[in-house]
Amino acid sequence: MSTQALPLWLDISVSLLVLAGAAIAFMGSLGLLRLKSYFERVHAPAIIATMACWCIMHATLLYFSVTGDGLAWHALLIALFVAVTVPVTNIFLMRAALFRARRMGESVPPNLSRTSSDDTRDA
């Protein structure tokens, strides 16, 4: 890498994106501390992993694409992989926690989906 100065627009754009990602990660971390139950707390890491990751990815993509030899595909591929795996992992963790809480007789959040028995009563 050469020691030449980067354009001002690149410095500002990358800095703002990295700061935005760090701020989102910090707010998600505060959510882990403040929220009471697991069912509330599980959303904070998902926000960190998606929104903050995308901000950092855009900063990385912009910086390395401008200073490197072309488009920095590695950053985009990492962010896409995170965006696909985080929701799936969250769904599995939530289902396991609901199953465990129901088996232990603990109170769980209400079911928001409609079942077939609800449809027959409404008709």
- What pLDDT, on a 0 to 100 scale, did the predictor assign at position 2? 56
Instruction: Give the tens place of pLDDT for each residue, 68-85.
Output: 777 888 888 988 898 888
- CA distances for 51 relative to 5, 33, 48, 81, 107, angstroms: 29, 19, 6, 13, 31
Instruction: Give the tens place of pLDDT for each residue, 18-34.
Output: 999 999 989 888 888 88
Q: Which residues contact 29 (CB under 8 A, 6 or more apart)?
A: 44, 48
The amino acid at 100: R
Q: Which residues contact 27 (CB under 8 A, 6 or more apart)?
A: 47
Q: Which residue has the higher pLDDT, 84 or 5?
A: 84
